[in-house]
Amino acid sequence: MARESESGLPIEPVYGADALEGWDPAEKLGEPGAYPFTRGVYPSMYTGRPWTMRQYAGFGTAVESNARYKQLIDNGTMGLSVAFDLPTQMGHDSDAAIASGEVGKVGVAIDSVDDMRVLFDGIPLDKVSTSMTINAPASLLLLMYQLVGEEQGVPADKLTGTIQNDVLKEYIARGTYIFPPKPSLRLIADIFKYCRAEIPKWNTISISGYHMAEAGASPAQEIAFTLADGIEYVRTAVAAGMDVDDFAPRLSFFFVARTTILEEVAKFRAARRIWARVMKEEFGAKNPKSLMLRFHTQTAGVQLTAQQPEVNLVRVAVQGLAAVLGGTQSLHTNSFDEAIALPTDKSARLALRTQQVLAYETDVTATVDPFAGSYVVEKMTDDVEAAALELMAKVEELGGAVNAIERGFQKSEIERSAYRIAQETDSGERVVVGVNRYTIDVEEPYEPLRVDPAIEAQQADRLAKLRAERDQAAVDAALAELKKAAEGTDNVLYPMKDALKARATVGEVCDALREVWGTYVPSDVF
């Protein structure tokens, strides 16, 4: 009897050559590092060196997060990934009334360039690659990072890293948006232009399906809605006068890795193939790098359980293996205690060790795309691709990603998928070890990491000191120039950088833009 995949597609008990009848390897596969990049974006993949091992960290104050980053670097982390608290993600200062109770909770609180300076104290920015999980205010955090680099004597063309900067998925799945879609897309186009001129090695956007998956999207939905968002960003940049080959090589993507290894491998391979064809056929990209879907992967936090949390070590290892077999360029493995609280030093180290075991104790790095030619994986790749293309066509029928978002299409589709998963879990049809099967009567005690509530007052004191010391007239003048640029067509990042350099805060800069662009109010009309 056939089972169904996470996307609701059939998985047969046995696959043979008939599953690939009429299948053209040259068209479907190509060679590793060659169009359509099904087998990976680089010819050698991990046979030369492993993927970049990132660890996502950030909590409390910049001082605390700085200490954690240094520990991760000492333990072999190759790239830093910064988590920001909710007030920072929403463009509010730590002393704002709306920030009460959330300062430093799910990430580090960054209110000004002063905090960014502390966050990277003693960390040479020309030696590390930094990924920042920030969206609506991504431009601010990037500019503060550039300012700290300048203070360290690091020229902007030596800075490497990524800003997530994917606001469209915020309207779909997460909710940490600030401005309406149109000015948000204008800001992203300004970032593309600014980075091409000023920070050329920076990845300007990480188009994210991860958060859609965490909200309940199936693998097919995850890549369909992510690639549809990517198409919208490319169209926006082209409409702003940019040549596709001037910015497309710096685009990157961000996906989840679930425990269902076969479908996850198929998903990653299908996503590469779809993106290569879209970039070539719709946008006429000529540079091979413009056709490459390069992506970061994070293991599935939503699949981790608070019950018997040590079992999550096994889940994370399996999820990490799926990402590696699928050809990821960088990977973050979640800590086993994520479902309970922020990771402790020990659990963060174990998460990193999981990647190191995959890279150095298994043979998955010995050959490129080890599942190529597998009857089941090739058939599942075709099936996921077809399902994703069908969803992408529906988005196009609605007028593209933004119009579909405003109609509530993607959100409603993901909610239906999430409801199905919840029903299957509640009924026991979907087995979750330790939750609805193989449970224990008494859980072993576990002491999670807690954030000191005094952090909120400490950040408020830092802000009061900053406002007392700075040249307020210079801040006011810079914010006025920023509003003027936002009202017109000038690139807003240049006056924004001047404002941040004058020690304007995240909240003040975002408030200046709110005055001009307004804020987004969602509607569910689909």
DSSP string, 376-436: HHHHHHHHHHHHHHHHHHHHHHTTSHHHHHHHTHHHHHHHHHHHHHHHHHHHTSS--BTTT
Question: What's the mean pLDDT in 130-135?
Answer: 94
Measured CA to CA, the distance from residue 508 to residue 470 in angstroms comes to 14
Judge whether residue 448 has pLDDT over 80.
no
270 Cβ contact partners less than 8 Å away, ≥ 6 residues apart: 38, 223, 381, 382, 384, 385, 388
CA–CA separation, 424 vs 427, rounded Å?
Answer: 5
Q: What are phi and psi of 467, to 5 degrees?
A: -65, -30
Give mean pLDDT, residues 181-188: 96
Residue 68 confidence (pLDDT): 87
Q: Is the peptide bond before 522 cis (omega within 30 degrees of 0)?
A: no
The pTM score is 0.93
Consecutive H or E run containing 4: strand 3-4
Q: Which two tokens stand for residue 508?
A: 């003040």
Instruction: Tell me which residue has tokens 């196009």.
Output: 396
Q: What is the mean pLDDT of residues 224-246?
A: 97
pLDDT at 1 over 60: no
Identify the weakest region by mean pLDDT among 272-281, 430-439, 450-459, 460-469. 450-459
CA-closest candidate to residue 378, choices 12, 88, 76, 103: 12
Kindly list the domain boundaries of the chain, sorted by start residue: 3-12+42-427
Q: Per DSSP, what are the bridge partners of residue 23?
A: none
Average pLDDT of 269-277? Answer: 98
User: Which of 52, 40, 395 lies closest to 230 in space, CA to CA?
Assistant: 395
Q: What is the DSSP letter of 358?
A: H
Choose between 342 and 224: higher pLDDT. Answer: 224
Model confidence at 478: pLDDT above 60 = yes
* Nearest CA among 40, 27, 426, 503 for reference residue 269: 40
Choose among 19, 35, 15: nearest CA to 27. Answer: 35
Burial of 3 (0-12, 13-18, 19+ CB in 10 A): exposed
Pairwise CA distance, residues 48 & 406, whole Å: 45
158 CA to centre of own chain = 22
pLDDT band at 344 (very low <50, low <70, confident <90, very high): confident
315: left (phi over 0), alpha (psi -120 to 50) or beta: alpha
Across the range 301-329, mean pLDDT stands at 97
Return d(Cα 513, Cα 519) in angstroms, integer. 9
Instruction: Give pLDDT, residue 169.
Output: 96
**What is the mean predicted confidence (pLDDT) over 45-72?**
88
Give the pLDDT score at 445.
80
Cα within 13 Å of Cα(184), Cβ side: 25
What are 135's two structure tokens? Answer: 């969206």
Q: Could you tell me if 466 and 114 are in contact, meaning their C-beta atoms sit under 8 angstroms apart?
A: yes
Q: Do 226 and 215 meet the contact criterion of CB atoms below 8 Å apart? A: no
For 449-468, b/e burial (b = at least 16 CB within 10 A) is: bebeeebbebbbebbeebbe
Q: Where does the pLDDT of residue 280 fall: very low under 50, low under 70, confident under 90, or very high at 90 and above?
A: very high
Whether the predicted pLDDT of 128 surpasses 80 = yes
| Share above pLDDT 70 across residues of the chain, in percent, rounded to a whole number | 99
Residues 60-89 have pLDDT tens digits of 889 999 998 898 888 887 788 899 999 999
Task: Please state the φ and ψ torsions of residue 83, each to the nearest 5 degrees.
Answer: -100, 130
Q: Of 293-297, 344-348, 450-454, give the range with the top mean pLDDT.
A: 293-297
Answer CATH for 3-12+42-427 from 3.20.20.240, 3.40.190.10, 3.40.50.300, 2.60.120.10: 3.20.20.240
| Distances from the Cα of 519 to the Cα of 91, 177, 479, 511, angstroms | 11, 8, 18, 10
Point out which residues pair with 83 in neighbouring strands: 133
What pLDDT does 59 receive?
76
| Locus of tokens 């066509």 | 393
pLDDT at 526 over 70: no
Encode 269-299: b = buried (16+ Cβ within 10 Å), e = exposed. Answer: bbbbbbbbbbbbeebebeebebbbbbbbbbb
Mean pLDDT computed over 8-18: 95
Can you read off the two tokens belonging to residue 430?
């979907």
What confidence score (pLDDT) does residue 19 get? 93
Cα-based distances in Å from 314 to 252, 259, 363, 448: 28, 10, 18, 19
Is a pLDDT exceeding 60 seen at residue 178? yes
Q: Which residues pair with 52 in a beta bridge?
A: 330
What value does the mean pLDDT of the chain take? Answer: 94
Q: Which of 327, 310, 349, 334 is nearest to 443 (CA)?
A: 310
**Any idea how long the chain is?**
526
Q: What pLDDT, on a 0 to 100 scale, did the predictor assign at position 521?
A: 87
Residues 224-231, mean pLDDT to the nearest whole number: 98
The tens digit of pLDDT for each residue in 453-468 reads 899 999 999 999 999 9
Residue 354 bridge partners (DSSP):
none
Segment 514-521 shows an average pLDDT of 96
The whole-number pLDDT of residue 524 equals 60
Spatial separation of the C-alpha atoms in residues 162 and 35, rounded to whole Å: 24
Q: In whole angstroms, how far apart are CA 449 and each of 190, 259, 347?
A: 39, 26, 10
Check residue 453 and give its pLDDT.
83
For residue 231, give every residue at least 6 positions away whose Cβ sits within 8 Å of its Cβ, in sequence order, or none.
278, 282, 400, 401
